[in-house]
Amino acid sequence: MCIRVIGASNHRYAHIGDVIVAVIKEAVPNTPLERSEVIRAVIVRTRKELKRDNGMIIRYDDNAAVVIDQEGNPKGTRIFGAIARELRQLNFTKIVSLAPEVL
């Protein structure tokens, strides 16, 4: 669950590529992350449309984020689902390279 958007005021919503502060509500057992842990994550997919400069509008089927550490490297080793291309410009290269599909 999202607590805060990094680098934004109270009245801003996070979009694809924004880093958020979140708390884990549900965790798979036997993983390094536990329930009610406060972590940082970068948003990779949103149901809200993403508008690109070339006029393309993309909408995903769900809202998804990848848990990262302070430097911006993903904490995990795998990523599921498609990733938006915007992340490459924002220097999340590790995430982009792990992604099965970049759209």
Partner 1 sequence: MLKSVGHNFYTPFLSLFDQLVLGNCVLLVNLRRMRLEKCWFCSSTVYPGHGIQFVRNDAKIFHFCRSKCHKNFKMKRNPRKVKWTKAYRRLHGKDMTQDSTFEFERKRNRPERYDRNLAENTLKAIKKIDKIRSDRASDHIKNRLKTGKVQRQKEARKQLELGIHLVKAPLALAQDSSLCLPKIKDNVSQAQTEENQPMEE
The site for partner 1 (CB under 8 A) is made up of 45, 49, 53-62, 81-82, 85, 88-89, 100-101, 103
Nearer to partner 1, 12 or 59 (CB): 59
**Which residues does residue 67 pair with via DSSP β-bridges, in sequence order?**
41
Nearer to partner 1, 72 or 81 (CB): 81
Least distance to partner 1, CB of residue 96, Å: 11
